[in-house]
Amino acid sequence: MQHYASPNTDFNGNKITDIANFDPTVLKRRNPNTAGQTSDNPSYYRHGTNVKVGLSSAQTNPVDIYGTPHDFGQYADLVAINHRAYIFAPEDGTYTFSLPSSDDITLLWVGSKAYSGWNRQNADIVQQFVASGSTPVVFRTDLKKGTYTPIRIVWANRGGAGNFKLRIVAPDKSLLLSEDSESNDYIVQYSCDGYSAPKYPDWGFET
């Protein structure tokens, strides 16, 4: 799985402190190497790969981005993380996606729209604040063994400490992805043949 973290701001660089105004499409033009916008500071960006997803504990500056603490400066409590990958289905059946914890908002897309065309309106899950013990939103979909399905997870914080957790459960009840998961053959960046599951566009050039 690939990820990058950036300040949670709008298209004009204004801080998002009301999560109702969070627009994930802003992240399509954010390039962690060039910052994507002239008003951005490249030092506020962090990108890489991860085998788990989610933040297992509330984060404050420096924010631990999958094992690498990163100083986001004035954006320490206003961070967004964009994740993308494919599920390589290990069996036929119904796969379950849930967000048992979200502070302040987490969005999930599954299928072709996770690769291109994703926005807040067509997300399969839009999970605003939910804490342990609450009832999370759940999404289920049927997948065929051996197929590749794009997935995307976007998390954003609007202030204070933030965290999120996501779980993907296979039909046999095995856990494919969580905040504690390890590397496996079923959450991948792209396919070996290059066309069954093509590489995602470079950061900053997504559509």
Question: In the structure, what pLDDT confidence band is assigned to residue 56 with cuts at 50, 70 and 90?
Answer: low
Mean pLDDT of 150-179: 92
Q: Is the pLDDT of residue 38 over 50?
A: no
The set of residues, in sequence order, having a beta carbon less than 8 Å from that of 23 and lying 6+ positions away, is: 10, 11, 119, 120
pLDDT tens digits along 95-138: 999 988 888 899 999 999 999 999 999 999 999 876 666 677 89
Torsion of CA 166, 170, 173, 178, to 10 degrees: -20
* In the chain, domain spans: 2-188
pTM: 0.91
Which architecture does CATH list for 2-188? Sandwich (2.60)
Question: In the structure, what pLDDT confidence band is assigned to residue 63 with cuts at 50, 70 and 90?
Answer: confident
pLDDT tens digits along 4-28: 888 888 888 888 888 888 999 999 9
Residues 87/102, Cβ–Cβ less than 8 Å: no
